[in-house]
Structure 1
Amino acid sequence: MPIMECCNIGVVCCDADASIPQVAELMRRHHVGDVVVVEYQDDKRIPVGIVTDRDIVMETVALQVDTEVFTAGDLMSAPVVSVQKDDGFIETLRLMRNNKIRRLPVVSADGALYGIVTADDIVRLLAMELSMMTSAIVEQPIREGRLRK
């Protein structure tokens, strides 16, 4: 399955010069734990970094520094690791595991931002698939019992 089939296409983005309070407000308003930092090239959003809620806490709040003096560009993880939208599910999992990341921007062939896939998305999808498989396992003997009376 291509990763574009299970990624979120409503990505919350900002420019590198957005202040950390602005980034935090975006996270709060959209109920997300990350904001993708983008540059615009020919009307395309090109991901250049990512800021997570953890980045904000660890790099500013925990150190008791003024968040107003930092921008998304200062805190973002860069260069951003991304996956092509046509890449497979397993390939994406390996990329996340090998890079020890939980959020991965999904890009089109020209590098434009298409969506984002998170560890939470993957766990949710796997849980749903396992639940459906469990139903099949439970129901199969019942069905067989009815057919072979």
Structure 2
Amino acid sequence: MNVGEVCNREVIIIDRDGSIRDAAGLMRKYHVGNVVVVEEKNGDRFPVGILTDRDIVLELIALDVDINAVTVGDAMSFELITAREEDNVMETIKRMRHKGVRRIPVVNDRGVLEGILAVDDLIDSLSEQLTDLARLVMGGQQRETEKRL
């Protein structure tokens, strides 16, 4: 299975010049824990960073930083890792674990933002697969029992 099959295509984005308050408002409005910071070129959106609710709390509020004095670009994660749509899901999970990230922007071959892959998406997908496998085993056992009767 590839990342493009699992990722969420509805990505909440913001410009690096956006305010922290605007970013937090978007997260609240869309019930998400992050915004992807993008740079627009010729109508295409290229991810340049990510800002999470955790970043806001731990790096700004907990340190008593005046959120009106910084922009999204000042507070976003700069070491952005991305996944391509055709990347293998299991390999991507390993990369995410190695980097300690719960969300990763998904890009196409040109680096244009196409989606976002979050741990929650992966859990949903893997849970569905495990349920299908369990039903397969249970169905086989039930058929064997019925044949014996």
Q: TM-score, normalised by structure 2?
A: 0.95
Equivalent pairs counted in the alignment come to 149
Instruction: Return 118-127 or 108-117, whichever deviates more.
Output: 118-127
1:117 Cα deviation (Å)?
0.3
Gaps of 5+ in 1: none
Question: Alignment RMSD, CA only?
Answer: 1.1
Instruction: Return 47-56 or 60-69, whichever deviates more.
Output: 60-69
User: 2:138 corresponds to which residue?
Assistant: 138
Q: Distance in 2 between matches of 1:147 and 1:63?
A: 68
Q: Distance in 2 between matches of 1:116 and 1:22?
A: 20
Q: Runs of 4 or more off by more than 4 Å in structure 1?
A: none
Gaps of 5+ in 2: none
Superposed CA deviations along residues 65-113 of structure 1, whole A, max 9, x for unmatched, are 2211111101111131001111111121111112111100000000000
> Which letter maps to 1:134?
A
The answer to whether 1:119 aligns with 2:98 is no
User: 1:107 corresponds to which residue?
Assistant: 107
The answer to whether 1:68 aligns with 2:68 is yes
User: 2:82 corresponds to which residue?
Assistant: 82
Q: Distance in 2 between matches of 1:100 and 1:122?
A: 15
Q: Distance in 1 between matches of 2:39 and 2:117?
A: 20
User: 1:36 corresponds to which residue?
Assistant: 36
Q: Distance in 2 between matches of 1:126 and 1:90?
A: 11
